[in-house]
Amino acid sequence: IFVQNYPKFEVLIIDGGSSDKTIEIAKKFSVKVLKNPYRVEEKGRVIGIQKASGEIVCFIDADNRLPTKDWFLKLIEPFKDKNIVGSESLYYEFRKKDSFVTKYNALIGGDDTMAVYFGIYDRWNYSNGNWTGVKHQEEDEGNFLKIKFDKEIPAMGCNGFMLLKNKLKEVKYDPYVHTDVVYRLSKKGYSFAKVKVPIVHIQKDIRDFFKKKIRRIKRRTQGEIKLEYNYGLSNKRMFLGFLYLLLVLPVLYDTIKGFIKKPTLVWLFHPIATYSIFLLYIYYYIRKLF
C-alpha cells in the first residue's frame, strides 16, 4: 500500500482481536489501528467507513496484495464518470512464489467453485472467458469496463473494492455485507467499473482454502450472515447448476478448456476443489435441516 504513487491517503487497520504480530507490524507504518469489538468483518468495515476522512473508501483485506504501484490511480480513474460509484479489479493475478491454491483462485476468478457454476463469480475466469455469468450492460472505456446491472449482481464488493463514500451513505451499510451494498446501489441506478488491473488474493495452502470455505458456509447456514440479496438463485438455476456438476464430464471439459487457455498443472485441482466444495455445501445444508 505504501509504495502506491498516489499523493495522499490514510490507512485504517480494523483489528478484530488478532493474536499474531499484526499490531506490532502496523505500528511501524503511518496507520490508524481501530478496534473491532464485534470481531466480524461486516461490522469492522462499518467502523472503517465511519472513521475514514476521505471521499473514497477502499476495502483491502489482509489476504490481498496490490501488484502495481499505480493500482490506486487506476481504480480511482472511473470516478470521473459521475454515474460510477464503485470500482474493482477485473481479474486476480498470481506470482511465481504464490501457493497453488492462490494460483487456482486467480484462474477461476474466485475462491468458490459453486459461485462459478451458478454464474455469480466476479473476476476473470480463464475457462469461461468472461468475468461473470450475471446479465449486465457493459461498455469498454479503455482502461476499464463500465458496468450496469439489471436485476442481478455477482458476488462483488470486496477484495480491493473502492466506493464513493457519499454515495455509500445513500443506502443501508450496517452491517456491511458487500453484496447487499452493491445490490442496493445498483437498484438506485448507479454503475460500477471493472478496472483492467489485477489484484492478488492469497490463500496460504489447501488447508487454509477449505478452512475458509467451511467457515463461510457455517456462517450462512447458522444465520450469522443474513443476506438481503440471494444472487437471484431460483430453483431452476440451482437445479441446472447441480445437474451440470452431477454429469461430471462438463467439469472435466472445463478443466481441459482452462488448461488450453492458460496452461498450468494447477488446473488439475479444479475437479477436486469443485466436488469437495459441492459436498461441503450439501453436508452443511442437510445438517441445517436437522
Q: How far apart are CA 30 and CA 259, in angstroms?
A: 43
pLDDT digits (tens, 9 = 90+) for 10-38: 999 999 888 888 888 888 888 999 999 98
pLDDT, tens digit, for every residue of 122-166?
A: 999 999 999 999 999 999 999 999 999 988 999 999 999 999 999
**What is the C-alpha separation between 144 and 141, in angstroms, rounded?**
5
Q: Can you give the pTM of this predicted structure?
A: 0.92
- Look up residue 179 and give its three cell numbers: 453484496
CA-nearest of 224, 234, 222, 227 to 157 is 227
Cell of 209: 482454502
